[in-house]
Amino acid sequence: MTKFNMEFNWLDFGQHDAAEINATFAEFKITVGGHPITRVLDTRARTTREYIRVPLYPLAEWLVFNWWRLFYEVKTPGKKASDLDQETLHCFSAAQEGFPLPQLAIYSEGDTANLRWTAYAGAFHNVEFLESGGADVPKDDIKGEASALVRAVLDRLAETGVKTPILLENWQAIENSDEDEAEFCRAAAYLGLDPYALRQQDAAAMMDIWRQIPEGVRADAFTAANMDNLPQLATWIQQGIDRLGPNVRKPSQFVGRLQRPLITHVVSPWEEGYILAQHARRELGIAPLGQPDLSKFGWRQVRASAPSSTIDGLIGLEVDAITCYSNKERPESLRFLAARSMLGWLYGANSCLSLLTSAITLRQQQERAFAAEFLVPAQAIKSRIAFDEVTEDQIADIAAEFQVSPFVVDHQIKNHRRASFHL
């Protein structure tokens, strides 16, 4: 998978009033997959270079103070925003303090993080960032590079006699966290909260609910919730478990019907979802351009109102059946939900119980991609589009034929780059 690196060389700098700024001035370079995202145009010299000259103390401070949310908070469409905007918590440029930093955003997706960077010209800087792009990177790689930078900054400050006790104390709190403390901090970050800013009674209530929710769906539940609706969500999950039956309480893994195909090249989560859907259709004998009959797979719904729009359904897997606890009513929504739940049923899952949400995590993305390709394969769409452009009416016709929403067809077209979309 793509590598993430931060490289720096210290510089002598004595032009700032703050000692920590002077001490940590450096040539700083960030690469993703070997590609320099700090490539800039020096507007004074009219030359380009792959590094920027900035103090690293503000970046180290920003990394430490936002550590848990930066690496564990997940984008969840429909979730109530926190008191701080996402850019402040997830984008490097929030740490610039008058010096140029790239607009590099980091969002956790589980074991990986999605990186997005955008070209821009700062209003008060003499450089223009030239690169735009994105990549999925192992989260531990980014955490390792961030840890190394923070330690290097603290060492540099110590060598130069500059005291920054608050930064040091906060970093030591992170580094010395035991498993219980780290679990608490992750739980808060999943909710979109700063673990060190929680009131004692709120922290205790949060961890009581964390322990009530089965381990296999805790992270998904907290990622989809906020502090306001968390108690209702926990109750809803317990009620759902009671309705889904005793088998979903088993802590063991669920063994699927199919063996995962060998994927010999690096793919994104959604691309793997497509590959698995194509494999499943072949193994199940579904015609290449045909529609799957989901009634053959024992799927059923137990209807119940959900406490949040971010919750799509609670899934219980059994050997011969899939049961979904959900409030979905539209036939095409139920069909898509059923197909999402089939990924774990066919290929196995960490638990018999899973929570489907709107969060942008690896598993949720893979399930959505699997469902789209399983229900309306890209080749079937291609066979129904005669030209490079597709109209809104054509999308509606394909959606009606395959019993999915036009949104699913539109995404299939865009994701597979089969055609450009024109109204």
Q: How far apart are CA 411 and CA 404, in angstroms?
A: 12
Please give the mean pLDDT across all residues of the chain.
Answer: 91
Cα separation, 71 vs 143, in Å, equals 8
Distance in angstroms (rounded) separating the CA atoms of residues 330 and 361: 25
This prediction has a pTM of: 0.91
Q: How far apart are CA 374 and CA 147, in angstroms?
A: 41
| CA separation for the pair 33, 283 (Å, rounded) | 35
Q: Are 130 and 40 in contact (CB under 8 A)?
A: yes
**Predicted confidence pLDDT, tens digits, the chain (423 residues):** 689 999 999 998 777 789 999 999 999 999 999 999 999 999 988 999 999 999 999 999 999 999 999 999 999 998 876 555 666 789 999 998 889 999 999 999 999 999 999 999 977 778 999 999 999 999 999 999 999 999 999 999 999 999 999 999 999 999 999 999 999 999 999 999 999 999 999 999 999 999 999 999 999 999 999 999 999 999 999 999 999 877 777 767 889 999 999 888 777 888 899 999 999 999 999 998 889 999 888 899 999 999 999 999 999 999 888 999 999 999 999 999 999 999 999 999 989 999 999 999 999 999 999 999 999 999 999 888 876 778 899 999 999 999 999 999 998 988 876 443 332
Residue-level pLDDT at 422 = 35
CB 375 within 8 A of CB 335: yes
Domain boundaries, the chain: 4-175
Q: What are the two backbone dihedrals, phi and then psi, of residue 131, each rounded to the nearest 5 degrees?
A: -105, 140
Cα–Cα dist 383/365, whole Å: 26
Q: Is 193 exposed, middle or buried (0-12, 13-18, 19+ CB in 10 A)?
A: buried
State residue 418's pLDDT score. 43
Q: What is the pLDDT of residues 314-360, one digit of tens each?
A: 999 998 889 999 999 999 999 999 999 999 999 999 899 999 999 99
- pLDDT tens digit sequence for 182-224: 999 999 999 999 999 999 999 999 999 999 999 999 999 999 9
pLDDT at 270: 84
At 417 the pLDDT is 66
Q: How confident is the model at residue 62, as a pLDDT?
A: 97
State in Å, rounded, how far the first CA of the chain is from the last one.
37
Q: For residue 142, give the H/E element and its range.
A: helix 139-159
